[in-house]
Structure 1
Amino acid sequence: MHVRLRLDGRHPRRWHRDLVRRLGAAADTTVEVEFAASGPSALPGNAETLFTLERLIFGLPARAASAPLTASERAGLPAVTGRAPDLILDFAGDLAGNLAGNLAGNPDGAADPRTWHLRYDGQDGEAGLLASLLAGRAPWATVSEGGRAVASARLGTEMQGRVATAFDDGLAHTVTLILAALKDAPGAGPSGARPPAAPVPDLSPGALARRGGRMLAQSIVQRLYRLCFRAPHWRVGWRHLDGPGVVDLQGHPPSGWATLRDDGHRFYADPFPLAHGGTTWLFVEEFPHATQKGVISAVAMGRDGPVGTPRPVLEEAHHLSYPFVFARDGAIWMVPESSAAGTIDLYRATAFPEGWEKVATLVQGVVASDATLLEQEGRWWLFATVRDAPVGAPLGLGSYSDALHLWSAPDFRGPWTPHARNPVLIDIASARPAGAIVRRATGGLVRPVQDCTDGYGRALGLARIDRLDDGGFGQTVETVLRAGPEWPGSRLHTLNSGGGFEFIDGSARAPRLP
């Protein structure tokens, strides 16, 4: 396939160069770049001033995907060759439909190439993305051909409310979306109603001054909060499971939740229970604020709840969290999140619950979050969201939470094969795992998912798995649970059950002074 990128010649950016590089690396694909004199999808005036203001006020990292190309970088892009393209990616936004037969390199009489357009919430290009972000939305990105959607994604960011970084994250995973669309079957896409187009943002000098004032006030409030409280701070809720669970109730239990207490100098999150030897053990991420690095800890659960406090059982040089623990083949195994190392690793208990040894790296070279295993009909599946950026890359190169990848294997020890359609889903509202997959008594599988539309860990969704095979993946979100009277706070993030208990986690406040 020969692909032509048609760009607004005034604003070539690093995400365009990244797309060119990755397209060119694909088998049987060549790529060239054509520059239009201008395009209707260009950013409105003063957008760069807005980005600069945010970076100065909030101390945001340098521009990533949206950074402009230097003259030499632009000159290094592959030029139009005279070969007729099979597909045009019209990012300039100045081509209507498929009427591209008069473009350079398309000989008279040759069939018009296919033409794809990029829109965010129904508006062309980067201007549409910025308008959606300024309206406070998680933007829907759509690749369309002749008015028909080819692929769609609901993009996200870990920097909610920071338009500059969210803009970069959106552009970075737009590359992911386009590459998925070129596989011809990128999946059904996220479910949910698309919002109407966001209004054209007012970036006049007066509006920028007012917005800058609000940002400065937010920055001061946040700094004052961090002076008074340790943040972020999570807490684990638990209850005896002597009736229907959250999946069956499709909501919080009427009995409410008790809290796993902490000393305020550390938090506990990502609860995973395991019944072993007549005792239910709870594994959690323990995060001491002093070290800013997670370890895996465990505590026994008794009739009246936790017996003592969690104690560390597994620590590495890198951050660990989400201790997915399970029993199999007469042993206890754990797959903790180790995205900071760029691997998905398997550990085996040698002196349960304290002793663990790493026995295999299941997947390497990926920044994968919250790896969750499932055995289904004699085959193993691994779910995780993947950040499409190198280990240690700065913010602004794609979210950690919106692109779901699958792998499969004949055994949980591997070898693991990536799904041909990865990412099988791009959706900030339902991609990232939030606990072990639940088998309903009546049949079917329910996947707890993180709904990060309004920010990381804000809500917990319950998604019915409709399809899971080599051809694709599909799910339907049945309900979304949020913090509220039954679980005070602002976040709800994980759900697991086992050994007669059910667990969730969410936000808490940890005052720096008593």
Structure 2
Amino acid sequence: MPLTLGVRLDGRAPRRWHLRLLEALAAPGRDLCVARAPGPGALPGNAGLLFAVEARLRRLPGDGPAAPVPLSAFAAYPDLDAAGLVLDLCGDVAPAPGRRVWRLTFDGACGEAGLLAALLAGRTPVAALLEGERVVAAGRLGTESLTVMRTAFEDGLIRTVDLVRAALAGDESGAPGLGPEAFLPPAPAGLSVTAIGLRAGTMLARTVAARLHRLGYRTPHWRVGWRHLAGPDVIDLRRLPSQGWHDLPDDGLRFYADPFPIVHAGRTILFVEEYPHATGRGVISAVAFGPDGPEGVPVPVLEEPHHLSYPFVFERDGAHWMIPESGAAGTIDLYRATAFPGGWVKTATLVADVTASDATLLEQAGRWWLFATVRDRGLDLPDRAARGAYSDALHLWSAPDFRGPWTPHPRNPVLVDFAAARPAGRIVARDGALIRPVQDCRRGYGEALSLARIDRLDAQGYAQTVETTLRAGPGFPGSRLHTLNRTEAFEFIDGSGSAPRFRRRGSSSKSG
């Protein structure tokens, strides 16, 4: 029998994201209906004023996911009547015989006000679907726009659609819910007219301060750290050693990030993203390491018209291969070296029409898995509109061979977590477990690096447990920590700080 799925929305504030949600839930065997009476959980009136001011100052389009739409836009959907499952976006639908209810909350509060309250409080919002006391699905919603509330709000709405869609797919297949109960916050944040005004003033002051800082400094300015490896590595230690780190020097006009080493002819060859500040477009560069460290400076080995980073390099079938991040091109591409460490030639597009970050391969039990975080490309949105975060939605693909064909996981995104979705280096085996380095972006992109144990990886689902979180400190000063990789001889990390725009001749970026 077809499933009748109802969506309860606030008829006083229908938005474009509600239409996107209904489009995402449409599928053969599902009948959709809508309850559109006025409901609780609406935003205060001056929230719209805040969004309008931000849109004017930032030149944001007016037809993003939070844009209002007329109720007539839902005319194709019948009124909610005998739905077998109701997605309650307001928090006022009661269960009834033959009817289940999934209540959507943001940081424990029903309605869109809960999402905005969490953002204004400076928290990473937790979206949860609850059936009674049972957590059906939960996830930490991300945004790269920490100071523009309308963009952050819309990023959260976009990812909420993904969360609901993946939860429904799991419910129909009998798979467990998306996200652990540990995501759930202790108490909802309050939202008032005064709070919106105060937060708006704080954000304006921070925006001005950040712009003034950028006048004198290039920020962020990533740097690669390396150390000789003669004992336990970071994964075994579960901490950053306080000594032994060296910087890979740069000239201040460019930075190096995303270190990926590989051993060739007995030597470590390090691949990095090289980012010249003048061009604003990353290329892939490489440098050989001898017994005492780098032998020269990184030299570009792969350039494209679009930005490249995260050079996931590996050896297989007598050849060297690389999957660099190419999200700006909307693809995940495979390259082969014809004159290693250079001569890279594109051999295949593994996944098309996707804005993917930090694609990472894993071969497990005779099958290949591809991990990446994905930003929404399916929304019909204008330029500069919010399209969801880059770092909070983990997607998986699997294939019999690393060259493909790649099949998307039926429950993508398999994880929504701004604290632990985005890859941060190669997945390694330790003591019978698979450890996945991940980025914790709750305090900003790449602010911390965590080690997550993979608990489940199969065609029905994915689960992981974060065991350790590492941050920059005395051993490797800076404001962020971002990537972790190693060979037998060397271990590599990267972190971020600022580089002066005007430097004395002969000065060095090396910090020891």
Q: Give the TM-score normalised by structure 1.
A: 0.92
Partners of 2:200 and 2:155 in 1: how far apart?
22
Alignment map for 1:376-415 (pairs within 5 Å)? 376-390=364-378, 394=384, 396-415=386-405
Partners of 2:62 and 2:476 in 1: how far apart?
37
How far residue 390 of structure 1 moved from its aligned partner, in angstroms, is: 4.1
Partners of 2:251 and 2:424 in 1: how far apart?
25
Q: Which runs of 5+ in 2 are unaligned?
A: 504-512
Aligned residue number for residue 80 of structure 1: 78
How far residue 161 of structure 1 moved from its aligned partner, in angstroms, is: 3.5
Question: Match for 1:152 among 92, 115, 138?
Answer: 138
Q: SS state of the match for residue 8, structure 1?
A: coil
Alignment map for 1:417-432 (pairs within 5 Å)? 417-432=407-422
- Does 2:214 correspond to 1:226? yes
How far residue 53 of structure 1 moved from its aligned partner, in angstroms, is: 3.4
- Does 2:300 correspond to 1:312? yes
- Does 2:91 correspond to 1:53? no
Question: Match for 2:439 among 433, 441, 450?
Answer: 450
Contact kept in structure 1, 2:332 and 2:356, CA below 8 Å: yes
Partners of 1:499 and 1:437 in 2: how far apart?
15
Q: SS state of the match for residue 75, structure 1?
A: helix
Partners of 1:212 and 1:368 in 2: how far apart?
32
Alignment map for 1:12-27 (pairs within 5 Å)? 12-24=14-26, 26-27=27-28
One-letter amino acid of the structure 2 residue matched with residue 196 of structure 1: P
How far residue 210 of structure 1 moved from its aligned partner, in angstroms, is: 4.2
Aligned residue number for residue 39 of structure 1: 39
Partners of 2:85 and 2:184 in 1: how far apart?
26
Q: Deviations over 1:78-116 (max 9, x none)?
A: 2316863222222233223x14xxxxxxxxxxx442222
How far residue 366 of structure 1 moved from its aligned partner, in angstroms, is: 1.3
Partners of 2:25 and 2:185 in 1: how far apart?
30
Partners of 1:497 and 1:393 in 2: how far apart?
40
**Cα distance change on mapping 1:314 and 1:77 into 2, 3 Å:** farther
How far residue 388 of structure 1 moved from its aligned partner, in angstroms, is: 2.3
Aligned residue number for residue 497 of structure 1: 486
How far residue 469 of structure 1 moved from its aligned partner, in angstroms, is: 1.4
Aligned residue number for residue 342 of structure 1: 330
**Cα distance change on mapping 1:186 and 1:321 into 2, 3 Å:** farther
Q: SS state of the match for residue 46, structure 1?
A: helix
One-letter amino acid of the structure 2 residue matched with residue 200 of structure 1: G
Question: Match for 1:506 among 471, 495, 512?
Answer: 495
Contact kept in structure 1, 2:285 and 2:300, CA below 8 Å: yes
Aligned residue number for residue 29 of structure 2: 28
Contact kept in structure 2, 1:324 and 1:371, CA below 8 Å: yes
Q: SS state of the match for residue 485, structure 1?
A: coil
- Does 2:468 correspond to 1:479? yes
One-letter amino acid of the structure 2 residue matched with residue 8 of structure 1: D
Question: Match for 1:4 among 3, 6, 17?
Answer: 6
Aligned residue number for residue 506 of structure 2: none
Contact kept in structure 1, 2:139 and 2:183, CA below 8 Å: no
Contact kept in structure 2, 1:458 and 1:482, CA below 8 Å: yes
**Cα distance change on mapping 1:251 and 1:421 into 2, 3 Å:** same
- Does 2:315 correspond to 1:327? yes
Partners of 1:210 and 1:419 in 2: how far apart?
43
Q: SS state of the match for residue 230, structure 1?
A: strand
Q: Deviations over 1:301-338 (max 9, x none)?
A: 12221111111111111111100000011000000111
One-letter amino acid of the structure 1 residue matched with residue 208 of structure 2: I
How far residue 446 of structure 1 moved from its aligned partner, in angstroms, is: 0.3
Q: Deviations over 1:443-477 (max 9, x none)?
A: 21100000111111010000011111122111111
Contact kept in structure 2, 1:191 and 1:476, CA below 8 Å: no
How far residue 29 of structure 1 moved from its aligned partner, in angstroms, is: 1.9
Contact kept in structure 2, 1:31 and 1:78, CA below 8 Å: no
Partners of 2:75 and 2:267 in 1: how far apart?
62
Aligned residue number for residue 507 of structure 2: none
- Does 2:101 correspond to 1:115? yes
Aligned residue number for residue 291 of structure 2: 303
Partners of 2:80 and 2:191 in 1: how far apart?
39
Q: SS state of the match for residue 264, structure 1?
A: coil
**Cα distance change on mapping 1:255 and 1:485 into 2, 3 Å:** closer
One-letter amino acid of the structure 2 residue matched with residue 79 of structure 1: Y
Partners of 1:319 and 1:485 in 2: how far apart?
32
One-letter amino acid of the structure 1 residue matched with residue 454 of structure 2: I
Q: Which runs of 5+ in 1 are unaligned?
A: 100-110
Contact kept in structure 1, 2:257 and 2:274, CA below 8 Å: yes
Contact kept in structure 2, 1:483 and 1:492, CA below 8 Å: yes
Contact kept in structure 2, 1:17 and 1:77, CA below 8 Å: no
Partners of 2:179 and 2:259 in 1: how far apart?
29
Q: SS state of the match for residue 182, structure 1?
A: helix
One-letter amino acid of the structure 1 residue matched with residue 375 of structure 2: R
How far residue 51 of structure 1 moved from its aligned partner, in angstroms, is: 2.1
Contact kept in structure 1, 2:135 and 2:181, CA below 8 Å: no
Aligned residue number for residue 68 of structure 1: 68
Contact kept in structure 1, 2:15 and 2:67, CA below 8 Å: yes
Aligned residue number for residue 105 of structure 1: none
**Cα distance change on mapping 1:187 and 1:309 into 2, 3 Å:** farther
Partners of 2:320 and 2:268 in 1: how far apart?
13
Q: Deviations over 1:340-380 (max 9, x none)?
A: 11111110000111101111111112111100001112211
Partners of 2:283 and 2:21 in 1: how far apart?
37
Alignment map for 1:195-344 (pairs within 5 Å)? 195-204=185-194, 210-344=198-332
Partners of 1:117 and 1:191 in 2: how far apart?
15
Q: Give the TM-score normalised by structure 2.
A: 0.92
Return 54-63 or 10-19, whichever deviates more: 54-63
How far residue 48 of structure 1 moved from its aligned partner, in angstroms, is: 1.1
